[in-house]
Each structure stands twice: as C-alpha cells, then as structure tokens.
Chain A
Amino acid sequence: MFGKLLTTLLISFHLFAILCASFSEENPTDRRVLVLLDDFAIKSSHSLFFNSLETRGFDLDFKLADDPKLALQRYGKYMYDAVILFSPTIDRFGGSIDAASLLEFVDSGHDLILAADASASELIREIAVECGVDFDEDPAALVIDHTSYAVSETEGDHTLIASDDFIQSEVILGSTKIEAPVLFKGIGHSINPANNLVLKVLSASPAAYSANPKSKLSTPPTLIGSAISLVSIVQARNNARILISGSLSMFSNRFFRSGVQKAGTTTKHEKCGNEQFLTELSKWVFHERGHLKAVNVKHHKVGEKDEPSMYRIKDDLDYSVEVYEWSGTSWEPYLADDLQVQFYMMSPYVLKTLSTDQKGLYYTSFKVPDVYGVFQFKVEYQRLGYTSLSLSKQIPVRPFRHNEYERFIPAAYPYYGASFSMVQFVVPFSKAFFS
C-alpha cells in the first residue's frame, strides 16, 4: 500500500520533470517525440533518421501503433511535443489515440510527421485529409515517372523517383543547397491551391502520374504532372507544423545511403539528397528554424517614455517591436527589411515599413492621422516558412480637447475688431443718446 503510494509519487515527480522541459513559448523546439511504428523493424531500418534526431537532443519514445497502452496525454497534459507516424498501414491506433485526438494534439500547437506509403490505411488518409492533403484515392496507386526516375539495376516500373523540384526556401530546407535529387517511392497526393496553409516541398516532375503500376491504365489518371506533391508541409494557424510524405521508405537507411542517378542525366551522385532533405525538413517541423517571436511592443509620443492610454489626432508617435528568431538553441535577432506596421481602423490609415537596428529591434515613427476612433497597431507578418506574426494592440485616438484649439485665428481678426470697437462705442453712444 505504502509502496504503491511511493511509486505513484515517484512517477508524478518524474512526470513533473518531463513537463518542465516541455515545449514552451520561450523554447519552441520540441523535446519529447512519440514515434508510432507498424513494427519495431522500422526502428532499425530507419535508424539513421532517428539517430539524427536523437543527436539533436530529441527524446524519442518508440511505440507500436497498436500498443493498447498508447496515450497522448495524462491528466489533461500532453506527454509529448510531437508525434512521428511511421505506421502507414495501421487501421486503428491502440490505447486512447485516434484520428481526432491526434488532430486535437496538432490543434493544441504540437507537431506531426506523417509518412504514408502505398496502400496507406483509411486512418492515415483521414488524418492527411484533415490537414489538407489528399492522397490518391486508389489504394494501389504509386507515383510513376518515366522521365525522371532513378536509374537502378533493376530497370522496372519507374516508381522509384528521383526528384529535385524543391520548394525555394532557405528557412524550410536550410541554407545549403541540396545538390542531389531525392529518392521517392510511394503514393502521391494533391493539395488544394486555395489552401494557403499547405506547401508542396517536393513536387513530382511534369511527366509524373499516379496510377497502379501493376495494372493497365483504363481511365486517365487523376493526379498528373507537377500537381502531384510528394512531400508537403502544413503550418496550421496556431503555428503547429506537420510534415506529410507519401513515402515511408524515403526515410529509410537504405535510401539515405544509396546513390542516385536521375534518368536522362549523366551525373551520378554518390549519395542521394534524402538525408539532407529530410533532416533539414525535420528541423523545420520541430521548430528548430523559422520560428519568430515578437516581444516588447512599445509605442509612445515622440519625446516621451511612457505609453499613453490614448493618443490625440495629429500626435507624433514612436512605435517599436523586437522580433527574434529561434535558432534551435537561442533567440537570435531576426533580420528583414519588409516588416510593416499598420495604424488600422477598419482599414489601414498608416502603413509603414519598420527600420531595424540589426539587433532585433524594429522601429518607426509617424503622425497619427486626423481621424479619431479606436485604432490598432497591427503587424501582420507572414513569410514563407516562418511562423506567422500577428500582433495587434488597440489604442483610442481622441479629437482635440476644447482648449487645444487656437485661441485666436487670423481669419477672424475683422470680427474681433468689430466686436471690440462695438464695445468701445456703445458707452459714449448711450451717454450721448440718453443725456
């Protein structure tokens, strides 16, 4: 009895320690990652990828996807900061996890890496659809490309694709250019062009299509050309990040180590781009890169220090904000020249680009427009790969007080003259009139 209590206590202490190290505003990089596998063989067959994560300080917790003791949260707190789903065939998760709880996990700001594969299960597809990614509905379909396949010994159905159609973004893929094409073997997916949260990171070539390689094509394929996305990322509105890939094998040690020669080219790369591509991408997904924060929003009248509760029309004011980027270990000043502030009331009355001191401080000063009302200082900063910054601070602008107008205006001098001369002459006039 007593011993039981002690263990519970110990466990809760342990839990407490874990909670302390979890994802936070100050330290956005994920720490504890749940890896759900179809079977433990994947742990060793994909060990290179996992090792790269572990060396970067992640705490990987490998579980079978149908483990009956699976749980994402305990006592209302999430035990993980991210989930890696390397279980494309699973039909039902074990324990308390299902599609809804995983999506809720994402909606509460956590990250997800999802790798599907040919014959991905309904469950995996459903999660992908909820994130805005539609896998080819034919379960046996693979992406086939007869022009940019990877040259291999077993010259076959051209489903091993070597793609180098990357997204052009240093934030997402790192600053070093990926020289070698990435090997891909799996199903393709499409994304809705109207959906601005999903990005194609790796697209298929214009000659690719998605079909079952083992059967003859009876109808034209649904997914064709560069509409096929091989690897996509999602950044949700709460800045949770999701990586969705149509291929589990592209994470495997075999692909990481293999060389590549794209069909039709003579350059043979000793090592394909998979390792660099996926490592860099995982850095982005786990918030080691491209995570911005804005702090110390300050505004005050020119020449003053304190923030007023209200401005007057035509006041001159200073506005400043500090923006930092998370480098994985510390907050570094974010450098850009396109950060803008709006002075907004139903529409922006002032729109100014902020100047920077290269140390993270962005500042500007402007004149309050000649309109009173409840304004907002708005910074809406959405850049490819970066978390979106959306700051708004409400501030009322009042009209002049009754004694802030000019006492005498030049145009009215004739009237002043008239009234004073009137006053002067009334007295003698009355005297003369009444005497």
Chain B
Amino acid sequence: MAPPETPQPTTLRHAFGNVLSVFVLLLIGVFAFSIRLFSVIKYESVIHEFDPYFNYRVTQYLTKSGVYDFWNWFDDRTWYPLGRVIGGTVYPGLTLTAGTLWRILNSLNIPLSVETVCVFTAPIFSAFASWATYLLTKEVKGAGAGLTAAALLAMVPSYISRSVAGSYDNEAVAIFALILTFYLYIKTLNTGSLFYATLNAMAYFYMVCSWGGYTFIINLIPMHVLLCIVTGRYSPRLYIAYAPLVVLGTLLAALVPVVGFNAVMTSEHFASFLVFIIIHVVALVYYIKGILTPQMFKVAVTLVVSVGLIVCGAVLAVLIALVASSPTKGWSGRSLSLLDPTYASKYIPIIASVSEHQPPTWPSYFMDINVLAFLVPAGIIACFLPLSDASSFAVLYIVTSVYFSGVMVRLMLVLAPAACIMSGIALSEAFDVFTRSIKFQLLGSTENLQVNNAGESTNVAQNDVVKTEKNEDSQKERSSRKSKKKEKESTERVPLVSRIEQKLLVLPLETSLIAVFLLVLLGAFYVVHCVWAAAEAYSAPSIVLTSRSHDGLHVFDDFREAYSWLSHNTEVDDKVASWWDYGYQTTAMANRTVIVDNNTWNNTHIATVGTAMSSPEKAAWDIFNSLDVKYVLVVFGGLVGYPSDDINKFLWMVRIGGGVFPHIKEPDYLRDGQYRIDSQATPTMLNCLMYKLSYYRFVETDGKGFDRVRHTEIGKKYFKLTHFEEVFTTHHWMVRIYKLKSPRNRIRGKTKKSKSKASSTTSSKRSGTRKKNPWH
C-alpha cells in the first residue's frame, strides 16, 4: 500500500505503532485498575453495599464446598422458612470467576483471602473491559479510536460507580462480557470467520452466566441483523455472525440454571428466534437468486411469497395466541418496565421501590458520563461517514442504550461503554482531521512528503484503511463479494482515494491548533471529573460512612457494630427480621437467618414483613411470632442525619404490604397526602411498629426528639413498648435491634390495680365484652 521506494520506514512505523498501542493499552489497564482503588485507600479493603455481600457469601461457599455443592446449594438461612435454592437462582458468572481466580492464586501459593480476591475482582475486570472496548472500537473505526475509547472507558464515572474495589457485583464482570460479546460479534461480521462466531457464543455464554442484562445482547444483535437485512447489507458474514450465536448461544444459555428454559420460553428471547427465521429465509432467497435465471426467480418469488405469507400468518397467529395467554404476555416485570417506563410504578412497587430502578435525572447524565454526552452526537455522525456494518451496530447500540438508560438509572451502565465508543470515535476522528490539517499546512508544499504523509495517516489509523475498503466493498457489494481479487485491487486504490479526500478535508492551521487545544482541554476536564468522581462520589462503601465537620472526620461504623453484636449475642438459629435491604448483609455479616433479603423473589413474603412494620405493635408481634422471628432490626438515621433509613423507606413498606394485604392503606399514613412524622402525623403512622421502633427513647437524646433527617420534631415522644424490648442500639443510633418479648407467663385478671371500688354494673358489663390482651 505504501509507495515502493519507502517500504522500510513504513514497516518500522507499523511496528512502532503496534508496540506503542500495546504499551498504551497496558497503561490504560493499570489506570483503570488503580483509579478504582480510592475506596480501599480512603476506607479499607471491604465489600461494599448490599448485593456484593451476598455474592461474597456465595463465593465463600463456593471456595469452601466446591462447584457441585454450590450448584445444589439450598440456603436455609434466608427467606425463612421458605429457603432459597441459591444454585438455581443466582447468576454464577461473577462467583465462578472470583472463585477460579482465588483457586489459581492459591495454587500459585499466593494465599489471598477470598474477601481480597472479591474486592479486587471488579477493578481487574474493568481493565479487561477497557481492553475489550479497544478491540471493539478498533473493529468499528480503527486503532486510534479504539485507544481513545479504551482510555475513556477506563475512567467513565458511570462504570466506576459499579466497579470500584469492593463493589463485588454482577455488573463488575458483566460489562466486560458485554463488550467482549459485541466485539466478537463485530469481529465475526468483519471477518466471516466461524472461529470468532464460536468464540462469540462462548462470550455470550459468559455474559448469560454473569448478568440478567444478557437479554440486551440477545435483542440488540438481532435488531442489528434485521437492520442489515432491511438496508440490503445481507452477506454470508452476517449469517455466520448471527446463526451460530443463536443456536450455540441459546443452547449454552439454557445450561445456566437460573435461565434454563427461559432461554426458549420467554418473550425476551423471542426476537432472536424471529430474526433467525428471517435470516434463513433471506439466505435462501439469495441462494435461489444465484442459481436461477431472473425470470424463473420472479416466478419463484411470487410462489414462495404467497405460500410463505400463509405459513407465516399461521405461525404468527399461534405465537400470538401463546404469548397472549400468559398474563404478562410472557415478559418479566423488569423487562416490561423497560418497554413501558411507567409499568413498574403502576403495578410492581417492589421494582419501583429500588432507587436504581428509577428514571435518571439530567444531572445524573452529566455526573455519570460527563463530556461524553456532548461527544456522542459527533461520534454518531462519524459512524455514518462511512457507514459500515460495524459502525451501524455502534449506532444502534448507542441509540438503544440511551433509551434504556432513560428508563432506569441502573442501565446508565450499559450506556457508558456505548458513549465511550462513540466519544472515542468522535475524538479520534477529530484529532485525525486536525493533526492531518496541521501536517498538511506545515508540510503541504513538498509533494514527496505529502505522499509520505498519506502513507503515514493510513498507518496511524491502520484499520481505517480496512474500513474504507469495507465501505467501498459495500458500495459494490453485490458485484464484488465473491471475487477476492477485486477486493485487493480496491485496497491498492485506497491511498489514492484517501489522498484526494484528505486534500478536501484540510482545515486552516490556526483553527486546527485551537481545536486540538480545546479538545485536549475537554479531555483534561473529563479526567479531572472522573478522578473526582472516583475519589469522592463513588468510593464510599456505604457500610462505613464518614462525615467531615468542623471538629474533624467522623466515622459511622454502626452497621458492622450491629451485625457483630448479632453474631455474638444471639443464637445461631435465631431469625432476624428487617426490611429486605439489610437481608444480604445480615446473612453475610451476622450469619443469622433472615426473613427477606435483597433477592426479592417472593413478593408476598416481603409484603408480610412490610405489613408487620406498618401494623401496630400487637399485630406486628403476631406476624413476627408466626415467622419465628426473635429479633427485629431497624435502621434509623434521625440522630445523625443518615437519609436512607427505614423511616424514609417506610412508605414503600406500606405500599408493598398494602399490595398484598389490603387492610394496610397508604392514605392512613399520610396527612393530606403528605408523609410526616411530626405532631401532624396520623395516629396510624404514630402507632405503627416502624415509628415506634425507630423513635423509641429517641427523646432521651436531646430532650426534644428532633429528627435530623426529616428536620422536624417527632410527633409522639414518650411511649413504651409492650411486645418488643430494645436489646441493642449502635453508637450513632443508626441500627436498633429489638427482641420480641415472649408472651406473659400469666394472664392477668380483669380488675384494674388502681380501682378498688368500682361500680358493679360497669364491671359486669366489662367482663362480657372485653377480651383481655393476653400479652398485656
């Protein structure tokens, strides 16, 4: 491709470029890993939040008992008394990954604890994810874009928020798997190699193992295939990229216990099968077209289309009937809330109650992807110049992920890689244009150097050449597809074409310099923001809280204090009831049986706990006692101003409880539609268990009972608990643990102590009507 008189420098540049790329990638990996260590440096090497504790516990079990026991694990310590078949209800990818990592390290005589491995799994995989981004973007727009995108992804705050050290959650490995799957798909699409197609299916399998978000892949890829077919871009490469993925991928997905038959039964997977049929029909049509004469083909088309339509109609009718027969139309609640963003808040409070399932606000876009939000449109435009199979996929990816991120905050995570890829493309294209302009302006006079320049620019973005080739290829696709020789010819014509293009795309020197400077500035702002986000916003482990005030740093370690109290002071088989948020932590840290936990699989059970929390003491005691509960744990932030406490979550308990047990009505807890706990609060609110357990003895702290979260004085200050007794309250009152009192040993008679001379008539009436509370 380069002019024959200068072959040596070009190869050298090639080699140098490759070495530089590898070196840069290595640095990106190190960067991606180390930017996520702020949490360890600022706090400690500890598992974060809620779900990671469960994953950690599962990993511990895996490393202790082995894969088969893990597969068959029936956990009797959660969802008492129902239990949970963990092996069949958990996405095992993350656990198996960390477990394997631990095993390998141990066999190499590196005795790390399971916890350490778990803590650092996410940073390691974010390095992998940036490399995968490099590969994917390289396939789409060349190595330069790839490197830029990888660097952007390494520090994109949205991804950092889910993958800081200690954030041991499915997303940590799933994003890597997602990008890898996309890369292998594009790679197969570009090469038409069955080898990559198989790898693609394996990557898809890993993704299915890791995260429920795999349905995004199995819908996005068919969408892209359909797009290619509709736009007349069908090719055997597309067939090879898609058909093996569906067949192998579905078979492999069905092997994951948690997916199982869902891989063929639920509507989430339906699109892939439909497109699978379509691509076969299209392939058949192309094949027949190849062997028949045009007239014969026309006849065949009319024949086949008429027959095909009838068959398709019949099949569709059957399918629609099948799908319509199920109440949710075969869709799971989470997927439905993706299609209809208002679905969850209308029908499933338990999904709507999770903050990460809420739609995001505009600032959160700026917070999570920062300047990428502005670069994305430029990237989309760059993808259309020229549009290839790969770049159309990138466009489709960004469009769908923008939609999904608008539905759920959590899916911002899926948007982040797409935004990085797009911004990477945009930045790299922009730099490409500007640096080329600068070079052209500086060296433009010498014809010889210009030739060199042309050669160089093709080398810098070596894959750009391939892309341009693809572009041309697609332009005269039909004629040239089968003849490899023609392709090669076109490859040889590329430098000439690009040279002409470059001449047209040259900007003035000053403009270019300023633009480059501004772009670098933009990048610098992005880096500053990302480092700030990693260090300040997303490094808190949320089980240890800190606050800075004028008299220094305060550390709130109340959660671990409470859990260790539970593990040291209660019986092994005691049951602890709390709102489901704290279930995973209680089982993992306190090793006590819980009633409900963050795996919200049984709505009725959660509603039972919600009902108990919203009931008066006696009714709550009955509910808890029927579940053999010994201790009740509530999280209370009123003393230190910790806003995500149980009182703030309480309306969800009422809603979820009321959804199953209609005697709990939300309006009873609201005064004129307002949720309040001050003296204006409703009596139902002031008498419910959650209020009482949260504010019991609270007035003793400051004499007024001033709640620092709600910024108000509490409504009912002095009251006694009759069926519960306080057994432990942590240092900052953030966790309060109560014990259920056992029923009174004796049942009191009806006569009041104080009353010595009661009129006989009232007492006789009383004996008939009044039923004495046996626990009173």
Spell out A's residues near B (CB within 8 Å). 103, 106-107, 122, 125-126, 128-134, 137, 190-192, 194-198, 219-222, 234, 236-238, 240, 310, 345-346, 372-376, 394, 396, 398-399, 401-402
Contacts and interface: CB of A to CB of B under 8 A. Distances in A.
6 contacts: A134-B749, A192-B747, A192-B772, A372-B83, A372-B85, A375-B81
Contacts of B80: 374
Nearest to A309: B76
A196 B747 CA distance: 8
Given A194-B771, A222-B760, A374-B80, A129 B746 contact: no
A171 B546 CA distance: 65
A128 B749 contact: yes
A194 B772 contact: yes
Given A133-B749, A237-B743, A240-B745, A373 B772 contact: no
Contacts of A103: 746
Interface residues of B, number: 37
A373 B85 CA distance: 9
Contacts of A345: 81-82
Given A122-B756, A137-B757, A222-B764, A373 B747 contact: no
Given A137-B760, A310-B76, 16 more contacts: A129-B751, A132-B746, A137-B751, A137-B757, A192-B749, A192-B767, A194-B772, A194-B774, A195-B772, A220-B760, A236-B746, A237-B745, A346-B626, A398-B74, A402-B68, A402-B257
Interface string B68-84: 10011010100011110
A132 B747 contact: yes
A132 B749 CA distance: 4
B750 A198 contact: no
Nearest to A122: B756
B758 interface: yes
A220 to B, nearest CB: 8
B763 interface: yes
B647 to A, nearest CB: 29
Given A122-B756, A219-B760, A346-B626, A374 B745 contact: no
Contact of B763 (A106, A194, A222): A222
Contacts of A133: 749
A122 B755 CA distance: 11
A374 B749 CA distance: 38
A262 to B, nearest CB: 29
Contacts of B76: 310, 373-374, 396, 398
B573 interface: yes
A130 B749 contact: yes
SS class, residues of chain B in contact with chain A = loop
Contacts of A198: 747
Closest 6 CB pairs of A and B: A396-B76, A398-B74, A129-B749, A374-B81, A134-B749, A401-B72
Nearest to A131: B746
B476 interface: no
A117 B127 CA distance: 88
B751 A134 contact: yes
Interface of B: 68, 71-72, 74, 76, 80-83, 85, 87, 257, 573, 593, 626-627, 743-751, 753, 756-758, 760-761, 763-764, 767, 771-772, 774
Contacts of A137: 751, 756-758, 760, 763
Nearest to A99: B753
Interface centre among A106, A128, A196, A399 (most CB of B within 10 A): A399
A237 B85 CA distance: 38
A376 B81 CA distance: 9
A194 B773 CA distance: 10
Contacts of A192: 747, 749-750, 767, 772
Contacts of B761: 219
Nearest to A375: B81
Contacts of B71: 402
A399 B767 contact: no
Contacts of B772: 192, 194-195
Contacts of B573: 394
A115 B593 CA distance: 48
A133 B85 CA distance: 51
Nearest to A398: B74
A353 B87 CA distance: 36
Contacts of B760: 137, 219-222
B83 to A, nearest CB: 5
Nearest to B752: A129
Contacts of A222: 760, 763-764
Contacts of B757: 137
Contacts of A128: 749
Given A137-B757, A190-B767, A402-B71, A346 B746 contact: no
A17 B19 CA distance: 90
B81 A373 contact: yes
Contacts of A396: 74, 76, 83
Given A137-B758, A346-B626, A372-B85, A191 B749 contact: yes
A131 B83 contact: no
A220 B761 CA distance: 9
B746 A197 contact: yes
Contact of B83 (A194, A197, A238, A374): A374
Contact of B74 (A219, A221, A346, A399): A399
Contacts of A398: 72, 74, 76, 83, 85
Contacts of B753: 126, 129
From B85, B627, B746, B748, name the one whose CB has the most chain A CB atoms within 10 angstroms.
B746
A196 B771 CA distance: 12
Nearest to A191: B749
A408 B76 CA distance: 30
B749 A107 contact: no
Nearest to B753: A126
Nearest to A239: B745
Contacts of B756: 122, 137
Contacts of B758: 137
Contacts of A237: 743-746
Nearest to B83: A373
A236 B745 contact: yes
B749 A131 contact: yes
Contact of B747 (A125, A190, A195, A376): A195
Contacts of A129: 748-749, 751, 753
A399 B86 CA distance: 11
A131 to B, nearest CB: 5
A312 B83 CA distance: 13
B749 A399 contact: no
Contacts of A236: 745-746
A246 to B, nearest CB: 14
A130 B745 contact: no
A259 B753 CA distance: 40
Contacts of A373: 76, 81-83
Among A194, A196, A220, the most chain B Cβ lie within 10 Å of the Cβ of A194
A197 B744 CA distance: 11
B87 to A, nearest CB: 8
Nearest to A133: B749
B745 A106 contact: yes
B260 to A, nearest CB: 11
Contacts of A394: 573
A376 B80 CA distance: 12
A197 B747 CA distance: 7
Contacts of A197: 746-747
Nearest to A138: B760
A107 B745 contact: yes
A125 B749 CA distance: 10
A316 B616 CA distance: 42
A96 B80 CA distance: 46
A235 to B, nearest CB: 10
A128 B751 CA distance: 10
B333 to A, nearest CB: 24
A310 B74 contact: yes
B748 A130 contact: yes
B662 to A, nearest CB: 20
A175 to B, nearest CB: 29
